[in-house]
Amino acid sequence: MKTAIKLSWGPALFLLMLMSVRVSAHEQHEPQERESCRVCGMWIDEYRKSAAELVLKDGTMEHTCGVACMLREVEDAGGMSAFQSVKVHDWVSGELVDAQTATYVLGSNVIPDMVPNYIAFAKREEAEAFAAKEGGEVIDFTIAYDDVSPVGTTAPFRIRTAVTPGKGNFSAGIVYGYAQKDQVKNGDSGIDPSAFINANKAQPKAPNESQMMQQAITVNYSPTDDLALFMNLPWFEKRQGAFERNPTTGAVGESIANDDGLGDIVLEGRYNFWRSTRWHQFAGVLLGTTLPTGEFDGTRDPLVNPLAKTNLITKAAGLQMGKDTATFTGGLLYSQRWKNFWLHTSALYNVNPENGDNFAYGDVATVGLALHYTPNYDLMLGVELDASYTEKNEDRGFKIGNSGGTVTNLAVVSDWRFLNAFGGNFKLRGSIGLPIYEDLNARETVNAKGLPFTQVQLGEGFFGNLSVVWTFRNAPGY
C-alpha cells in the first residue's frame, strides 16, 4: 500500500513540473502579470493577430484569444446588449474593427486560436480572397453568433472523439479509477457468490468480489491540425476474493489475492480525415497499441488438467498487471454537433496476440455512443453507452470456457472547467456507471468425483473515475 500511495503523488508532481517549466519560461520574458483569455485561459499576447476586445457596460475591458471565444463570452453574457463594444482584429491590417460589421471566414486551413476557426476581416473582398486560397466559408456576424457552440468539442470518457483540437494543443492529466464486480454471472443471470457456491455441494470454488483501482498519467498532443496522439501510463491495484470448499469437510472458506504494479502503457493516434466547413461533423480513424510494460505471471499449475490436456496458468487473468505482448487497436470515429449538444460514436477492434507464455486474451470488438450537453463553456453533462463482445481467452490453444462474452455499459459523465492558469485551463472530469446488460460465458464441468459443477465469471457491480486535466495550446506562428 505504501508503494501505491507514493505513486499517487507521482502523477500530480509530474503535472505540476510541466506547468512550472512553462510558466518559468514565460516569466523570463514577461515579469509583469499576463492577461489570459477568460474562456480558455490562453495568453492574450500570443494571439494578438486573432484576439478580440470586449468592453462591458461598466467600462471593464476583457480580451479573448480569438473570435470563437469572443462569441462564447457574448452568448454567455446574454448577447451584445451586455457590452458597450465588441471588436475583433482584422486579419490583414491587424487593426480593431467592430465585430458586428466584420466579415468572417469559417473552416479554412488556418487555425489561429481555437476551434471552430473563425477569422475576421474588415473587408468582405479580402475575406473572399482568403477563402479562395485557404478554403472555408465566408459568413457575417449573425451566422457566426447563431452557429457557435459553447465548447469547441467535448472529450468522451470510455469512447474517443473524431475531433482533433489543432496543432500544438497539449494536455496532461492525473486519473483515479475504480471498478468493482460482485455477482456471479452464468450467462445473463446473476447470483450472489455465497449463494452460488452453497447451492451445489459439488462446487469446489467460486469467485467473490473483485476490485480494481487505477492511477494514471495521461498525455495528449497534436503535432498537426489533423493528428492527435495519446499516452496512458497506468498503475493498478487489484484485489480478488474467492470462495473455496474444503474437499474433506465440505466447509466453505474465503481467500483473498492482492497485487499491484505498473500496467501496459497505451499509445494511440487519432487522424481526422474529414470535417465539415462549419466544424459540426467529423470523421476519423484510430490506431493504437499497448507496450508490454505490465508484469504477466506465467506460473503454471504443475498438475495436468485432464480436460484441457495441459497445465494452465495459475494466476487469474483479471489479476495480471499486463498481457506480456503488444496489442493492437483500430477503428473508425464519428462526431457531430448540434449547437449545445455533441454526439460521439466509435467502432473499434482490439487484437490480443498470444504472449511468450502461450496465453492469449480474447480479441474485443467495441461500439460506443456518447451524448454530451454543454450549457456554457465551463460545464459538460452527458451519458455514454458502450457495448463490447470479447472472445474467450486461450491458454496453449485451449479456449477457457468461463471467459469472454458480451457487456453493455451505461455511464453518467461530466466535466467542469474550474480554473484558468499557466496559459491554459484545468478541468475536473468524472464519471460513474454500471453494466446494464451482460451475457458472460460459463463452463460446465465435473469435479474429481465426477459430479457436475459450473466455472463462472464475475459481473455486475459498478465503475467510476475522477481526473484533473490541464490543457493549453502553443500559439501557431501566424
Tens of pLDDT, residue by residue over 301-313, are 876 555 545 678 9
Residue 10 burial (CB count, 10 A): 14
Which residues fall within 8 angstroms of residue 255, CB to CB, at 6 or more apart?
Answer: 241, 242, 244
Question: In 10 A of CB 189, how many CB atoms?
Answer: 13
| Ranges in the chain, pLDDT < 70 | 1-32, 303-310
Which letter does DSSP use for residue 137 in this model? E
The whole-angstrom separation of Cα 70 and Cα 3 is 47
pLDDT at res. 383: 98
Q: What's the confidence (pLDDT) of residue 219? A: 98
Q: Please list the residues that pair with 176 across neighbouring strands.
A: 215, 466
For position 103, what pLDDT does the model report?
98
Domain with CATH 2.40.160.40 in the chain: 169-473
pLDDT number for residue 286 = 98
Strand 394-395 relative to strand 379-390, pairing: unpaired
Tell me how far the alpha carbon of residue 309 is from its chain's centroid: 42
How far is C-alpha 208 from the chain's CA centre? 29
State residue 302's pLDDT score: 78
Residue carrying the nine cell digits 449547437: 339
E strands along 341-378, which residues?
341-351, 359-360, 364-376
Separation of alpha carbons 142 and 410, rounded Å: 38
What pLDDT, on a 0 to 100 scale, did the predictor assign at position 450?
A: 86
Whether residue 430 contacts residue 418, with contact meaning beta carbons closer than 8 Å, is answered with no
CATH fit for domain 169-473, picks 3.30.565.10, 2.40.160.40, 1.20.1630.10, 3.10.20.340: 2.40.160.40
Strands 327-338 and 364-376: unpaired
Q: What is the DSSP letter of 392?
A: P
Percent of the chain with pLDDT over 70: 92
Distance between CA atoms of residues 159 and 87, nearest Å:
38
pLDDT in tens, 451-472: 999 999 999 999 999 999 999 9
Specify whether the CB–CB gap between 277 and 118 falls below 8 A. Answer: no
Q: Give CA–CA dist 133/105, Å, rounded.
A: 11
